[in-house]
Chain A
């Protein structure tokens, strides 16, 4: 039953928000809903999973089944952390119709939770699409100058991807022995090799678009840049994980043969994407775009590690799913504080943050270290495992991916150098410093970064059952 709460809490709060105009009440409702979800997520972490099962579409034999294994728990925790953090950190941002904005954010949260919890393919598809709709409105109403065209491109990409996935679902569904959408029956489907490869490709494209991986990535930097920063945080911290989660939850168990047969191609695409994104990131002057491209590179590495189909690599990716979310969230919040207060995102115009705002600069350096996976930070654990598996897979691939670490250091440290050091620029000099809320959130996130970096064992424990399912037959 408490799994259902993950959907109900944000939805009820969102409906309440439609009737509220007062800024403080909006913030109160949003935070209450966020914290309740967070409590629930923590409770879930320490509990054996209890499925929530309810008949839904009897004719199609589809059930309203919610279940959570290790990776789902971790992503639910990430979602539950992200939303209150975003609400708190961006609480001082000026927006028109703040109640609608917050309500749409909460609907997004419900959609994301649904994606991570769904144990039925049709339900999964439902939430997959539903998480997108509120984001479409959020970006198109509150986004930047080119928001409408950019968001439409984003929407269209994902929509095409999910429709392809729908065909894949139909294909597998018709071949299941008991004509059911449950993931258990999906794994038992009798598919011929051709069918299996086709369905694999159909699912894969949807996931690759969502992540995004190299040839399908063009929607992302624009969408990140044009979205209001609160939404960008959701997009890059949580939403892109939908694609990776899909690979883990659906692709790996459903089409093991096709998965192994195509690993080379996918890893190659991922590596191209990593290098390409890293190189582009070096040339960026816009803070938001830099983080966006850096995010593409990180996601690419996780995807490559998943496709090595090696226990160590998958373990690394599972942990990194959580760590990357935390790190990128921290970076976005800092970028948002800088943009809100200095009025610019251009790194040329920034400089001297360390002199003027030492606390913020320290936080920036902290998260930047996490972004380049320095030891002691959480990203180190995951990336180490992922590189390990890539090396076992093919040393050359590992070498190519390794270049990206160097590139990541170049663009991240370059960014730190330009923003934090040097002469105090005009833009920085007018900064007031982060408000208390944002600062508290950042410090908490940084604590998570170092805590899970020094002692990652809890993350291993949580994801143990997922790994067992994937690798022990």
Chain B
């Protein structure tokens, strides 16, 4: 509860902050301080030091994994804000508003990691999504940003409608919104009830797929990620997507049983489709930003593997994947934001001009591609291991690695541009501190690449 309450309060504070404090720098620092406060509040609940306890009639249930998810996502958000603070200021002239929006989104995240009731899932997703529509359109004078925002809004509302319809069906079959209610047993119950339940779950599945941008519900992703201001794309592609996955796994951990074997079929279909579309389309992109959008679809395909089984391995794998993917993606977008032009060619010759930055970019790309010594390798390893333990056919693993190899094509294109093609990239000024921040991310990438267990120590204790 701590996270939800504190983030809402912080959101309200940031909203009114711009009346009192005019300096963008102070606003930024207050935002970061608030973020630290939020992390502390969540930590307090995790450790049982101080808990705000409100009786929600079982609509929210706080467990270790949910609180750990909060912790992970909040720390990632903190890193994100710490690195991108100045870039956020440059968009529009109301930096404090954006921080307020971030805190509201984190409130949604808090709900999504702890709901025990499908209505709370709906509320959580809405609290998460609506601020995102605003962030996407934040660059008011840019038509692309407006277009992206409108598209996102229309498609998002549509998917929310589907989500609601699914929840309604499930309620019709089950008589309850609660996740932990005893499931309908396919053998003893009436046929039409079972049908309702399955239909509801499949609608729910489709809506969740939309939120995590899995194919064939991914069509909004490239346009929205491309149109939104680059700093915000970074946030959407990482923290928001991760929250979506945590909610996704939470719903279907128990409910999937009602679907029986159908579950495996549709999940496999979606995974293979997502991997295929994400990876293959990414190869043909000419803009790095769009490539990263498709890469995020492809990575979502990998994260979906976490839904395949339901042992602790899956949760572990998902967390590690989220952390590895988010750190690398935040890093890449932080580099991208400093480029004047987002095409692959604009990276030509970066290694000559700025070897440090080229090295960092390469490290982040390696992590996304899953090369050893980076966090991404263990993320992929854990995911494959979880998939295997869950009893997936070997062919699915082979499909996974074939597409992992495909991803080399587009990630390494950037490496090739930076190191092997001559040119002079035009970039915005980068100060020393910004560089140091990126190096911190790089250290994290290598740290988790050598000792992934560091992350799990917190999961269990």
Which A positions have Cβ atoms within 8 angstroms of B?
Answer: 57-60, 125-126, 129-130, 133, 137, 140-141, 147-148, 152, 155-156, 159-160, 163-164, 166-167, 170-171, 173-174, 198
Contact = CB atoms under 8 A, between A and B. Distances in A.
A156 B408 contact: yes
Contacts of A166: 381, 384, 401
29 contacts: A57-B451, A59-B456, A60-B453, A125-B372, A126-B372, A129-B371, A129-B372, A130-B373, A133-B366, A133-B371, A140-B416, A140-B420, A147-B420, A148-B416, A148-B420, A152-B412, A152-B416, A159-B408, A160-B402, A160-B405, A163-B401, A163-B405, A164-B401, A166-B384, A167-B384, A167-B397, A167-B398, A173-B385, A198-B394
Contact of A163 (B385, B404, B409, B412): B404
Contacts, number: 65
B373 A126 contact: yes
Given A58-B453, A166-B401, A155 B388 contact: no
B388 A170 contact: yes
A155 B384 CA distance: 22
Contacts of A156: 405, 408-409
A130 B409 CA distance: 18
A391 to B, nearest CB: 38
A159 B370 CA distance: 10
Contact of B453 (A59, A137, A140): A59
B104 to A, nearest CB: 36
Given A125-B372, A167-B384, 6 more contacts: A58-B453, A130-B373, A164-B398, A166-B381, A173-B385, A174-B388
B419 interface: yes
Interface of B: 366, 371-373, 377, 381, 384-385, 388-389, 394, 397-398, 401-402, 404-405, 408-409, 412, 416, 419-420, 451-453, 456
A170 B401 contact: no
A159 B412 CA distance: 12
Nearest to B394: A198
Contacts of A137: 419
A167 B401 contact: yes
Contacts of A141: 419-420
A170 B451 CA distance: 18
B394 A57 contact: no
A123 to B, nearest CB: 10
B400 to A, nearest CB: 9
Contacts of B377: 129
B373 A170 contact: no
A141 B362 CA distance: 15
Given A148-B416, A167-B384, A130 B372 contact: yes
Contacts of B452: 57, 59
Contacts of B420: 140-141, 147-148
A160 B456 CA distance: 29
Nearest to B352: A97
Nearest to A173: B385
Contacts of B405: 156, 159-160, 163
Nearest to B421: A148
Contacts of B416: 140, 148, 152
> Of A57, A141, A166, which is in contact with the most chain B CB atoms at under 10 Å from its CB?
A166
Nearest to A164: B401
Contacts of A58: 453
B287 to A, nearest CB: 21
A124 B412 CA distance: 24
B306 to A, nearest CB: 16
A181 to B, nearest CB: 11
Contacts of B389: 174
B308 to A, nearest CB: 14
Contact of B388 (A125, A160, A171): A171
A160 B163 CA distance: 39
Contacts of A59: 452-453, 456
Contacts of B397: 167, 170
B427 to A, nearest CB: 22
B197 to A, nearest CB: 34
A58 B457 CA distance: 11
A164 B385 CA distance: 13
Contacts of A130: 372-373
Given A57-B451, A160-B402, A174-B389, A167 B373 contact: no
Q: Which 4 A-B pairs have the closest CB atoms?
A: A163-B401, A59-B453, A129-B372, A126-B372
Nearest to B370: A163
B353 to A, nearest CB: 14
